[in-house]
């Protein structure tokens, strides 16, 4: 539960840190309009459901890939834990 809140928030802050609106445009996410877009994009990337309305550019492509890999890794770990709980272990 904590992972599902802290990880997207941390990545959203990383995306926001890469933005520089005083430069005249986005350096991290195309079509970026504010803080909520960073959080929305982060949750979308974590669940690998990025829709295309926001797109990473430059170094943020790496951040997005890492976030998607973390999301898949956590899903795999949770599935393995659930399986271990549900399937009785065999004792020799």
Q: List, run by run, the mean pLDDT of 10-residue segments along the chain (92 residues).
A: 82 85 69 86 86 85 91 89 86 62
Nearest CA to 58 out of 84, 25, 10, 33 is that of 25
Please state the domain extents for the chain.
2-86
| DSSP 3-state of 30 | strand
Nearest CA to 53 out of 36, 75, 68, 69 is that of 36
CATH code matching the domain that covers 2-86, chosen among 1.10.274.50, 1.10.287.70, 3.30.930.10, 1.20.1560.10: 1.10.287.70
Give pLDDT, residue 21: 60
Give pLDDT, residue 66: 93
What residues contact 20, with CB distance under 8 A and at least 6 apart? 27
Query: pTM to 2 decimals?
Result: 0.78
Give pLDDT, residue 65: 92
Give pLDDT, residue 26: 61
């Amino acid at each position: 539960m904590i992972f599902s809140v802290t990880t997207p928030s941390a990545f959203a802050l990383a995306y926001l840190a890469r933005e520089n609106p005083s430069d005249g445009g986005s350096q991290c996410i195309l079509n970026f309009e504010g803080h909520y877009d960073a959080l929305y994009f982060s949750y979308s990337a974590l669940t690998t459901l990025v829709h295309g309305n926001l797109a990473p550019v430059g170094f943020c492509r790496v951040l997005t890939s890492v976030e998607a890999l973390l999301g898949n890794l956590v899903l795999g770990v949770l599935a393995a834990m659930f399986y271990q709980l549900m399937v009785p272990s065999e004792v020799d």
